[in-house]
Amino acid sequence: MAAIIALANRKGGSGKTTTTINLADGLARQGKRVLVVDADSQAQSTISCGIMPYQLAVSLYELLHIKMADSEAATSKVSDREHQVYPKGDSEIAATIIRGKQLFDLIPSKPDLSALEIELANRSNCQSLLKDLLLEVENTYDYILIDLPPSLGLITVNGLVAANWLLIPIEPTFLSMDGLAQMTSILYKINAELNPELRLMGIVPIKCDLRTNLARNVVEEIRQNFGDNRLLPPVRNDIKLAEAPSFGKTIFDYAANCRGASDYLQLAQSIIARSGE
């Protein structure tokens, strides 16, 4: 059964997508079977893999709609649209997963996903759609990484309900600490009301320059508030991490010898150790 890790932070620009993609590749290079779920309507994980959202026939958006229809009425007919989208004999999720572009697999996203919260606003029991969806494939992978949006809406709640681990990337700035505090508050709420199995795997300082007083102070504050066991190896500032997505590559394919690649490989090894493998 896969370890399902949600990557989330209430503050935008915290390095969630960079961490999702490069951690997935790092885990795959350690011999793990990895699936990335792009659950952000900005589709940055999808784009970072060299896939343009406008080229997609199906994505997470369609999968969640189908799962909602399944959960509402087992007796309802499959729509004509679904018949057209999926090849006969294939499950919806199997037909949607993109394989071979990277060492890991991908459930892609596109901007349509932003409409899902409005479309399902009046539906009940929709917090576990993603969890139900991933039940179909969780035995196929060792790790499933979910790249979540910064907003706290239906998609983020679905990701946290589906996950058994929460990983919080954080840029070492004063404003990022507020986002961290909000995420831990959300974790406790989800843990108490919707997913008692959700646990904090750790906090990853991103774009971290420990030569500065600010970065050192933020890292020390994380250590004091959460303990050494929740502070994961930092990822140092590296311009190549910002360049790699424009080529549709992970840092390991783009610049395997840079410090960003070294840091994400160390992070992958730490994740493997913490997840009990």
Q: Mean per-residue pLDDT for 184-193?
A: 93
Which tokens in the block code for residue 79?
Answer: 């729509």
Q: CATH number of the domain that 189 lies in? A: 3.40.50.300
pLDDT digits (tens, 9 = 90+) for 35-56: 999 999 999 999 999 999 998 9
Structural domain containing residue 172: 3-274
Q: Give the distance from CA 180 to its chain's centroid.
A: 16
pTM: 0.91
Whether residue 110 contacts residue 59, with contact meaning beta carbons closer than 8 Å, is answered with yes
- Enter the tokens of residue 126: 């929709």
pLDDT digits (tens, 9 = 90+) for 218-258: 999 999 989 989 999 999 999 999 999 999 999 999 999 99
Strands (E), the chain: 3-7, 34-38, 105-107, 143-147, 165-170, 199-205
Half-sphere exposure of 185 (CA within 13 A, CB side): 8
Q: Number of structural domains, the chain? A: 1
- Name residue 145's amino acid: L
